[in-house]
Amino acid sequence: MQKKVFLVCLGLTFALASFARTSGVTQPQVVRSSAFEEPEQGASRLLLMKNGHTLFFHFTLRKGINVTVYNPQHEAQPVVNNRLSSWSNRRMVLADLKGIYEINGEAVVFLQQYVHRRPSLYRLVFDSNTGQLKEEKLIADLAPLRLTRGYRYTYGGMRISEFELRKDPVSDYYAVSMLTYEKGEERIRVLHFDPQHQVINKGDFAVPARDFKYLNMADMYVNGGNNVFLAAFAFNMELSFLQSSRFAIASLAKGTEGFKTAWLPDVRDKRLRDAALKFNTADKNVYLLSALYTPGTRLEPIMSRNMLERFALLMHVIDPEQLTVKQHYFVAHPQLNEYAKTHLKYKRNYQGVIQDFYLHPDGGTTLLLEEMDIFQETIKDGMLTDRRARDRFDTHNNYKTRLGEIGITRLDADGKEAESYAIAKGQENEGGMQLFMQHKRRQSRWNFRDNAFTSNLSGFYSYDYFRKDNKDYVIYNDYAGNTKNREEDYRSKYDVRVVSNSNTVFAVYDGKQIVKNYLFGQPDENASNRFCHLEMIARKEDSNSFATMMVEKSGHQKQAYIVWVNI
């Protein structure tokens, strides 16, 4: 087995090295496993362990969780099937992945499931050497869903009661939040866990019901065993919605029994769409990036998903001890607008939505943006005959999302645009997709595919981003014809609608130009394609090495591989 893997890797390395010499860009090193059948149903994830093992999780439709362990030499052990006992394995499609992490040397999976209509959070602990399930435990549950609140969920902006989980990026501490309703008011309850899965602190975030009826958690960040930071949106649901909302930052500190809370004064009565919360270990500040609705306000939109959904982007820099705002600014990117007009031939400003952001030691940030267009099409299901014997078509509405041109913007510590560029790309997927998608999928959200939704291939779409040696690496799946096409006019590119006809591209930006290569080798004349599952990318913090699943198609035959890439 080891010899076979070595020969496959050697041949691929020679092919990639030959292509890299023609482009003048150092080609990433790629090692791939032995082939296996592509899992086209369910959901899959990878986890890189500190002991050198790679765990491949496949959450099946009916048979539980299959785990394959790859040793440090990338050799696969036999697949281990783990059936769950807490709920029917046939209900896996209804579960929601809340996190998959290495904690205390073990692989830990957090799944939310509805048991007797009660949202329930389970912690599954796996042996990192064998893939065997060691522990299956319910760690929290909530009251059954109340159907009488259906209107509020649908039209009021109120979120369904569920769990959110975040792990500290640099330690094994983690926290769970849950939206509860007690004593006539909504609360966000937070449990703070240590690496041994013991609760070290807990607290409730609440606001007086006389002031605000509803709460939505925006995001959460775990700072080791010291703090859990929480961003929350409080609002009412009357017609005066925009005139009755507040945005809060809160901290549950070690040794305290409740949250310390501060309201953000500059976003009073603004409507929050989504937010991401991070902590800069270099300057010790909390960074809160928020997307705010602009219709009905004086805010200037820089992002949009359609004519009605337009957003401004606001950054808060917050002192973690006092919870005071040290700095805030609305993001503007005139250089990105100009780059899109000059290089991609835009006739308007760039309107890509926020997907994620990275913090720099000096307080600067890199924003990851992507054009996102939500559109609706009417599907005719078949012809029916009504009571008056008239023929008509039964129809339903279907939503699709175009994930388009990539925008990368770097801001300095004052929030001023320092550098920006854009890459022409287009991908079309079933269903509606959300802001901060990359930020959320790195926290292990999944797109579970079953017999009814096999067309949901969003895990292969969007892009991923790495930075190394003052160069940006942008990875995405695209048609070979788009890559060969040297025209940067975005209208000259074809949208990817069949992902199996695409190849994984990595674009390198060195501050002057963008050079595009194929990550897994140039497609040959036999109509071969090699594309990767971007949602499955697993990497260790502060590392430019990652693993994912690559699918290779030759003619009508497809094979899948786990690949380890070193940029």
Tens of pLDDT, residue by residue over 524-552, are 766 789 999 999 999 977 677 999 999 99
> If you search the block for the tokens 């949009």, which residue do you land on?
304
Residue 564 lies in a domain: yes
pTM: 0.90
Tens of pLDDT, residue by residue over 120-164, are 999 999 999 999 999 999 999 998 876 555 545 444 444 556 899
Element (H, E) at 23: helix 2-23
Residue 556 lies in a domain: yes
Tens of pLDDT, residue by residue over 274-324, are 999 999 999 999 999 999 999 888 899 999 998 889 999 999 999 999 999
Buried/exposed 536-556: b ≥16 CB within 10 Å, e otherwise: bbbbeeeeeebbbbbbbbeee
Q: Which two tokens stand for residue 410?
A: 């770097």
Residue 13 lies in a domain: yes
Region 212-226 average pLDDT: 91
pLDDT value of position 558: 93
Region 1-19 average pLDDT: 43
Tens of pLDDT, residue by residue over 257-272, are 899 999 998 777 788 8
Q: Which two tokens stand for residue 318?
A: 């917050």
Single out the residue of 537, 403, 518, 407 nearest to residue 461, CA to CA: 403
Q: Which two tokens stand for residue 488?
A: 């940067």
Element (H, E) at 484: helix 480-484
| Residues 142 and 178: beta-carbon distance below 8 Å | yes
Q: For residue 356, give Cα distances in angstroms to 106, 262, 352.
A: 28, 24, 12
Q: What angle do CA 84, 43, 273 make, to 5 degrees?
A: 110
- Give the integer Cα–Cα distance in Å for 288 and 294: 18
Side by side, the strands of the sheet bearing 43-48 are: 43-48, 54-59, 65-70, 80-82
Residue 392 lies in a domain: no
Tens of pLDDT, residue by residue over 353-392, are 999 999 999 999 999 999 999 987 766 655 555 455 555 5
Element (H, E) at 419: strand 417-423
Residue 544 lies in a domain: yes
With cut-offs at 50, 70 and 90, classify the pLDDT of residue 396.
low
> If you search the block for the tokens 């996190």, which residue do you land on?
99
Number of helices (H) and strands (E), helices first, in the chain? Answer: 5, 35
- Give the integer Cα–Cα distance in Å for 31 and 539: 15
Tens of pLDDT, residue by residue over 474-517, are 999 999 999 988 889 999 999 999 999 999 999 999 999 999 99
- Give the integer Cα–Cα distance in Å for 40 and 36: 12
- Give the integer Cα–Cα distance in Å for 400 and 428: 7
* Residue 251 phi, psi dihedral angles, 5° rounding: -135, 130
Q: For residue 93, give Cα distances in angstroms to 106, 199, 284, 386.
A: 25, 29, 40, 36
> If you search the block for the tokens 């957090």, which residue do you land on?
110
Q: What percentage of the chain exceeds 70 in pLDDT?
A: 86
- Give the integer Cα–Cα distance in Å for 126 and 82: 10
**310-318 and 199-206: which strand pairing?**
unpaired
pLDDT value of position 485: 87
With cut-offs at 50, 70 and 90, classify the pLDDT of residue 234.
confident
* Residue 395 phi, psi dihedral angles, 5° rounding: -125, 160
Region 410-414 average pLDDT: 98
The residue segments making up the domain with residue 474 are: 1-32+347-366+409-427+434-567
The pLDDT of residue 176 is above 80: yes
Residue 105 lies in a domain: no
Residue 11 lies in a domain: yes
Please count the structural domains in the chain.
1
- Give the integer Cα–Cα distance in Å for 519 and 403: 21
Strand partners, 202: 191
- Give the integer Cα–Cα distance in Å for 509 and 472: 5
Q: What angle do CA 398, 454, 447 make, to 5 degrees?
A: 85
pLDDT value of position 391: 53
- Give the integer Cα–Cα distance in Å for 36 and 550: 11
pLDDT value of position 17: 41
The pLDDT of residue 556 is above 90: no
Tens of pLDDT, residue by residue over 55-108, are 999 999 999 999 999 999 999 999 999 999 999 999 999 999 999 999 999 999
Single out the residue of 538, 555, 450, 453 nearest to residue 500, CA to CA: 555
Element (H, E) at 326: strand 325-330
Which of these ranges, 205-209, 338-342, 363-367, 520-524, has the smallest mean pLDDT? Answer: 205-209
pLDDT value of position 245: 79
Tens of pLDDT, residue by residue over 430-476, are 888 889 999 998 877 788 888 655 567 889 999 999 998 899 999 99
Strand partners, 245: 235
Element (H, E) at 474: strand 471-479
Q: 340: alpha, beta or left, given left = phi > 0 and alpha = psi -120 to 50?
A: alpha
More confident position, 145 or 192: 192
**353-359 and 365-385: which strand pairing?**
antiparallel
Name residue 136's amino acid: E
Q: Which two tokens stand for residue 508?
A: 């390198």
- Give the integer Cα–Cα distance in Å for 351 and 19: 34
- Give the integer Cα–Cα distance in Å for 155 and 43: 30
| Residues 307 and 373: beta-carbon distance below 8 Å | no
With cut-offs at 50, 70 and 90, classify the pLDDT of residue 114.
very high
- Give the integer Cα–Cα distance in Å for 174 and 222: 6
> If you search the block for the tokens 């990117």, which residue do you land on?
333
Burial class for 498, CB neighbours closer than 10 Å (0-12, 13-18, 19+): exposed
Residue 537 lies in a domain: yes
Element (H, E) at 152: helix 150-155
Instruction: Please compute Rg for the chain using Cα positions.
Output: 24
Q: Is 483 helix (H, G, I), strand (E, B) or coil?
A: helix
Q: Mean pLDDT for the chain?
A: 87
Q: Which two tokens stand for residue 13?
A: 């390395």
